[in-house]
Structure 1
Amino acid sequence: ECLRSLAFHEMDARLHGIERANKDTCEWIFETTQFLNWESRVDIASHNGVMWIKGKPGAGKSTLMKRIWLRLRQEANDSILAAFFFHGRGNNPLEKSALGMLRSILYQLLDQNSQLWVAFLPIFLDKKKKHGNDIPWYFGELKSFLVSSAGNLGSNRIWLLIDALDECAIEEVQTVVAMLESLAFSAFESHIALNICLASRHYPQIRMSKADELVVEAQSEHDQDIREYVRNNIFVNDPSIEAEILRKSAHVFLWVELVVKMLNKASVDGRVKAMMQILRHVPDDLDDLYCELLTKGRNPDELRESVYMLQWVLFAKEELRPEKLYFAVLSGTDPENLGPWDQQKEQSSTIQRYITSTSRGLIELLTDVDVSSVQFIHESVRDFLLSVKGLQLLDSSLNQQQVGNSHGRLASCCYSYI
C-alpha cells in the first residue's frame, strides 16, 4: 500500500519504450575512462560517484542509458538499481516532473532496501492517517527524506540512473540537479557506495561542482557505431555512401536512421544510381531534415493533412489512440466524409500505415498490452515543430500565434466531429 501510493502507471514507460541498442553498438561505453572510474569509484572525491553523459539531440544518449541499465540489471546482483527516464512527450505530468522522478526513485529504493523502508514507513502511516487512501506527496518532503536518509541506504552498492534531464520541466531542472548533487555528497560523506549516472543535452547549461562528464559525439567509438548501423541496415553496400553519411551526420544517430530509411526507399524504387545524389542534397541539420521529410514531393492537400496530424499529437492533452488520431485529422481535412467507423474498410493496420505515411515516419505507435497510442519518435520533433522552422514554415496561416491558432483549429475539428 505504501509503495502503491508512490507509484504511477507511466513511471517506467519511457525506459521500456526505448529499443535496445543495435547489434555491436554501445559496448564501447563500458571501456571509457569515465565509466571505469565511475564503476570502480576511482578518485571518488573528484566526482562523488556521479557520471554525466551529454550529447546533441538524437545522438543516442537514451539508448546508451538503457544499455547501461541492462548491464547493471544483469551483472550487479548484490546491488540496488533504480532508474528514471524523463519523458517530455508523455501525457502524464509526472513523467516530466521532479516529483514524478522522486516518486519513482523512492518506490524502487524502498522496494529493495529494508532499512530505508523502516525509516519511511512512519511518514506513510502519518499521511494515511490524515488523508486516507488518497495520499498527496510533495517534492520537498520526499527530497528531504531521501537526502537526510543517505546514511540509511545500507552497505549494498546503489546505482541510480536519470535520463533526459533536459526533458524535465524547464523550471525544475536546476532543482533536480541540486537535489542529486546533495544526495551524492551526503552519500559520499556517509561512506555509502552510491553511483549516479545522468544523461542530458548540452542545453540547458547546468553543471555540478563534482561530476565526471562524457560527451557522446566526442567518442570515436560512437562514430564506429554509426558505421556499423549503416552497414547492417542499408540495402546497398557502397563505401562512398557510408563515408558520406558519416561525414554529414554530425554524430547524430537519429539523423542517420532517418537518412538510411530515405536511401533504402530509393533503392526499393529502383533508384540505386541516384542514392548518392539524394544523400548530397539531404540537409545536415536535424530540423532541416524534418522539414524536408514533411514537405518534399507533397501536394498542398497532403501537407495540410500532415500539419493537422502533427498539431493533434503536439497539442492533445491526453494520449491519442491511432483511430482517434485518424478521425481527428479527417474531421479537419475531409469533414464531409465523416461517419461511423467502418472497420472492414478502415482496418487498424490501414490506419497505422496512414499515420506513418502522413507523418513521414515522425509519429510512432506504442503498444501497452492491448492498448495502442501515438507519439513523436523523438523529443527533437516537438522542439522542431514549436520553433520558427516548424509549424509556421509548414503552414504560413498559423503565423506567430501558432499555439493559439493551432488550438483554435483543433477546436473546430471537434465541432465538425460532433
Structure 2
Amino acid sequence: MLLGCLSSLNNHTARDRITQVSMRHKDSFEWLYDSKAVPFCTWLANSAYNQPIFWVTGKPGSGKSTLMRFAMQDPRTRTYLKKNQNDNNSWHFIGFFFHERGSVIQKSIKGMLKELLFQVLNQFPHLFEIVESHYERLVTEQRKNLPDWDERTLKICLYDVLNRDKHISNSLSVKICFFIDALDEHIGDNNQLLSIIEVLARLSQQNSSGVTNKIRFKICLASRPWTVFMERFAALPQFAIHKHTSVDIVNYANEKLNQALQSRTNGVQSNLQMWKSLVDSITDKALGVFIWVRIVVDEVCKGIRDGTAYFLLKELVLSMPAELKDLYAHTLQRVDPQHVFEAHTMLQIALCALSPLPLSIFWDCTMATLYEETAKTENLTDPLSWLASRSGGLLEAIQQSSPPPDRHHLPPVGPREI
C-alpha cells in the first residue's frame, strides 16, 4: 500500500530543478555561516521554534537558488540545527525549487504539495498510517492503484502528517528542514501560496509547545523582494543576498580574469593594480547580481584573449547596461552578425523547451530549424564553443546529474526576462 501511494505521488521532474541549479563558485557564500554577517545559523540553532520560517530575498540573478542548494547540501546546516537540541535524532532535508521555465509540476502549488508529501513519506514511511485512508479513498473512487491527487487532498494529507496531534503514539521522532525556493516563479495565486506557508508555520509553532510532540520542522524560503512577500515576511529573520556577495564577486572575477591573462602567449607581465581596478569596476556596477557579473566577465575575458587594450575593456565594462533586461539585449547585439539568426533560433528553442535538452537534441533542433535538415552531432567539433559564440553566453551547458553519463544538457535560459 505504501509503495503504491509513493508511486502515485512521485514525479522525478519535481526534483530536477535542484540538480540543475549551478553549484557555488569555490568559497562563495561562506558568510552564510557567519552569525555576524547574517542570522541564518542563529535561526538554525534556535530550538524555541517561535520563528519557524527564514526568508532569503534578493534581486533577480543574485544567486538565491545557488545559495539555497548550497545550504541544503553543506553539513554545517545540520550541525547548527542539532546544536541546541536535547536528543540525538537527525534532521532531514526536504526541498522544492519552483521553476517558471519548467513543467507544470515544477511551477504549481499542486506540484509543490505533491512533492513535499512524497518526500516526507519517503523519508518517514511510518507516517503513511496518517494518510492511508485518503489514499485508499482515491484508489476506490478512481479505480486505479496510482490515482491522481487533487490539491485539496494533498493539503489535508500534508497538514495531517505535520500535525503533532495526528501522530500515532509510538511514532518515531521527526525533524525536518524544508527548503522552498523561488516563490516568485510559481504560476498560481501568491496569496494562496502564502496561506499554505502560514498554516505550516502555525503547525510548527504548535508542535514546539509541550514535550509530547513527535515532529519538529523549520522552513527556509527564497524569493525576489516582491511587495506581497515583503509585507508578509517583514517580521521574519532574513537577509538580502545581493548585499553580501561583493567579496564573492571579486573572487570570481579575479579568477576568471587571471585565467584569461595566463592564456595570452605574448608573455607580457600584467599590471596587477590595473586589473584590480577593472575588477573593482565590475563589482561596483554589478550591485550583487551574479548573472550580470558572469555575462560581463565572459565579455572581458574574451577581449583579453583577443588582445583588446585595457582601456577598451574598461570602457566595455562601464558601457554595460546595469539592468539585466538591457544587458541581455546588449549581449545579443554584440553577437557576430553572421550568427544573429542562429542565436535567435537557439534562444527560441531553449525558451520553448519544457525541460532541459540534451546537447545532441538541441543541435538537431537548431539545424532542422535553420536548414530543414539534421546534421550529425559528430560534425560539431567544439559544442561548448559553438554554444557560447552563438548565444553570446546567454545559454550554457551543464553536466547532467543522472544517467546517461558524459552528456551535457541545456537548461532553459536562466533569467526569465529574456
TM-score calculated relative to the size of structure 2? 0.80
Assess, with a 3 A threshold, how the Cα gap between structure 1 residues 27 and 313 changes in structure 2: closer, same or farther.
Answer: same
- Corresponding residue number in structure 2 for 1:264: 301
- Corresponding residue number in structure 1 for 2:403: 369
Assess, with a 3 A threshold, how the Cα gap between structure 1 residues 224 and 343 changes in structure 2: closer, same or farther.
Answer: closer
Contact 1:50 1:184 in 2 (8 A): yes
Is 1:294 aligned with 2:332?
A: yes
Deviation at 1:71, TM superposition (A): 2.2
Is 1:138 aligned with 2:174?
A: no
Contact 1:61 1:216 in 2 (8 A): yes
Q: Report percent identity of matched pairs.
A: 26
| Deviations 1:206-259, CA, capped at 9 Å, x for gaps | 24365222111233xx21111122222222452101110111101101111111
Listed as ranges, the gaps of 5+ residues in structure 2 are 83-88, 209-214, 262-271
- Corresponding residue number in structure 1 for 2:197: 180
Q: Larger helix proportion, structure 1 or 2?
A: 1
**How many positions carry a matched residue from both structures?**
370
2: CA distance, partners of 1:6 / 1:275: 53
Give the counterpart of 1:168 among 181, 186, 196. Answer: 186
Q: Counterparts in 2 of 1:231-310, with a 5 A limit?
A: 231-235=254-258, 236=261, 237=272, 238-273=275-310, 274-296=312-334, 298-299=336-337, 301-310=338-347
| Deviations 1:312-366, CA, capped at 9 Å, x for gaps | 222345654434433433444444xx3x54455x24x545543332112212334
**Secondary structure of the structure 2 residue equivalent to 1:227:** helix
1: CA distance, partners of 2:354 / 2:24: 31
Q: Counterparts in 2 of 1:15-54, with a 5 A limit?
A: 15-32=18-35, 33-41=38-46, 44-45=49-50, 47=51, 49-54=52-57
Assess, with a 3 A threshold, how the Cα gap between structure 1 residues 317 and 87 changes in structure 2: closer, same or farther.
Answer: closer
Give the counterpart of 1:225 among 241, 248, 261. Answer: 248
1: CA distance, partners of 2:250 / 2:356: 36
Give the counterpart of 2:176 among 158, 161, 164. Answer: 158
- Corresponding residue number in structure 2 for 1:127: 138
Deviation at 1:119, TM superposition (A): 0.7
Assess, with a 3 A threshold, how the Cα gap between structure 1 residues 297 and 3 changes in structure 2: closer, same or farther.
Answer: closer
2: CA distance, partners of 1:295 / 1:29: 37
- Corresponding residue number in structure 1 for 2:238: 213
Letter in 2 for 1:38: W
Q: Which moved more, 1:108-117 or 1:49-58?
A: 108-117
CA RMSD of aligned residues (A): 2.5
Give the counterpart of 2:95 among 60, 83, 95. Answer: 83
Letter in 1 for 2:44: E
**Secondary structure of the structure 2 residue equivalent to 1:57:** coil
Letter in 1 for 2:298: K
1: CA distance, partners of 2:296 / 2:115: 36
TM-score calculated relative to the size of structure 1? 0.80
- Corresponding residue number in structure 2 for 1:357: 389
- Corresponding residue number in structure 1 for 2:8: 5
